[in-house]
Each structure stands twice: as C-alpha cells, then as structure tokens.
C-alpha cells in the first residue's frame, strides 16, 4: 500500500490529517480510503486527542471519488471515503484550499466546521457525468445550505466561491489563500480550551438531532443511485469524462 497518501500530525490535543494524492486532486481510491480510516480511527479512539483538522493541498481539498475505483472506497467504520457515515464525537474541521467538488464537497459536509481559503470552490458536479451525489450530498447539502441554493448546485453541477459559501452559512471563515490549515488549527485549539467531555457530548447531541431523517435520505439516495447506474446516460457520462469530450445524452 502506498505510504504517502495521507499524513497525520499530532499538535497538542489536535490531530491534523492531510490528504496527499495531489496527482489525482485527492480523489479517493481504495488505498487512500484505508489510510484515511486509520487516521480517523486514531482521532476517535485516542483519549488524548480532542479535535481534528482535515486538509488537502493547494491543488485541491478533494475531487471526491476516483472513478477508476468503481466505488471501492468504503470502510467498515466510516463508510464512503472513511468519513461519510462515521459516528463521531470529536469535532472535525475541514481546511479547504482550492476545489472541494463532488465527493470532496460531501467530505466537507461530513465535517462539523469549514474553513475556506479565498480561492476555494464548492460544488456537486455529478449530473454533468450522468450521476448523482451519492455520499449524502442530496440531504446534507440542503441541510447546510438554503434549499434553493442546494437544489441549484445539485441540478446544474455548478460551483460556488468560498465567499458565497460563507455568505450562505456553509463556510465558517474565509481566509487568505494558503492559510486555511493555520486558521483551522487555531479554531481547533480554541475548541480544545474547553472541557472535552462537554464538547463531545454537545457535538453528539447536535449531530444526532440534525440526522433524524438520515435513514430516509440514504434510502432515497440509494434508490436514485441504483436507477442512475442502470441508465445509458450514466455510461455515456463516465465515458465522456475519461475521453475528455462533451457527453451525448439520450435520456435513457
């Protein structure tokens, strides 16, 4: 297994997790999912760690799924990308530089707080490939953003800027380019000044209360995903992506 796809660094009570697959814009495949799983397990299982920061690079936060992996990025404790379905009690802050698209935005949606650099962008472009956001974007997107805005992102595949994401309440802070990790670490340190038991129980209550309809969301997402994957348009969309051409949709 490649040893350098994910790096971890302990800084006081904070674990900094950095995705390092720059050549693929931090798209997640089997090997990267497994390394992310190890890092997130460390964060949850080590009582000396009270908060985490998840970062990408100046190239990308994450482009989501590596399409060549054909969906093989699921872990037992974390689900997709080792994070999407994970039961967590410790705060996790996304430090987003550059793009967080598709599953990359869904990873950010799975975090508790988002720090974005001025050049960060967020989007769910799956429909442009004949696909749908299948990693909770269909229900976490409308939860984190106004319904009409989330619907527009999902149906058009367009992106929004970091500033727009902050105006809409999705990004907590917008910071100068290259400083998202530093700002996220500062926020994590601020959280760690508080009682860890109280922080963890408060976060657990927040996450449980807003996730009351998640089971329905997953059921409806799976129904849509199954239909999409059986369509001719899905095959055409993925082929067009790899062949770097415009797709020829048939509506079938």
| CB-neighbour burial class of residue 48 (10 A; exposed 0-12, middle 13-18, buried 19+) | exposed
Give 49-90 as a DSSP string. --EEEEE--SSEEE--B-GGGTT--EETTTEETTTTT----S
Q: Is 243 a catalytic residue?
A: no
| Whether the Cβ atoms of residue 144 and residue 111 lie closer than 8 Å to each other | no
To the query of whether residue 106 is one of the catalytic residues in this protein, the response is yes
Extract the tokens encoding 30.
Answer: 């089997």
- The one catalytic residue in 106, 182, 215, 236 is 106
The CA distance from 168 to 175, in Å, is 16
Cα angle 226, 219, 107; round to 5:
85
Which residue is catalytic, options 126, 182, 222, 232? 126
Cβ atoms 157, 213 nearer than 8 A:
no
Q: In what order do the strands lie in the sheet with 6-11?
A: 6-11, 14-19, 51-55, 92-96, 113-117, 173-175
Residues annotated catalytic, as ranges: 106, 126
């Amino acid at each position: 297994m490649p040893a350098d796809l994910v790096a971890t660094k302990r800084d006081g009570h904070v674990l900094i997790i950095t995705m390092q697959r720059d050549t693929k814009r931090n798209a997640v495949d089997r090997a990267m999912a497994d390394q992310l799983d190890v890092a997130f397990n460390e964060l949850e299982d080590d009582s000396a760690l009270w908060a985490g920061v998840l970062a990408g690079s100046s190239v990308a936060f994450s482009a989501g799924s590596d399409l060549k992996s054909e969906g093989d990025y699921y872990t037992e404790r974390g689900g997709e990308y080792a994070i999407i379905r994970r039961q967590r009690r410790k705060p996790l802050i996304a430090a987003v530089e550059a793009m967080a698209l598709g599953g990359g935005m869904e990873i950010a949606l799975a975090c508790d707080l988002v720090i974005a650099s001025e050049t960060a962008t967020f989007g769910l472009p799956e429909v442009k490939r004949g696909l749908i956001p299948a990693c909770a974007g269909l229900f976490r997107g409308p939860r984190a953003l106004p319904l009409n805005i989330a619907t527009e992102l999902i149906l058009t595949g367009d992106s929004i800027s970091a500033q727009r994401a902050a105006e809409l309440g999705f990004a907590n802070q917008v910071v100068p380019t290259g400083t998202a990790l530093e700002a996220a670490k500062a926020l994590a340190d601020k959280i760690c000044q508080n009682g860890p038991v109280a922080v963890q129980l408060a976060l657990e209550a927040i996450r449980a209360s807003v996730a009351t309809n998640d089971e329905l969301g997953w059921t409806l997402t799976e129904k849509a995903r199954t239909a999409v994957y059986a369509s001719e348009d899905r095959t055409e969309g993925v082929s067009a992506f790899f062949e770097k051409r415009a797709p020829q949709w048939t509506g079938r």
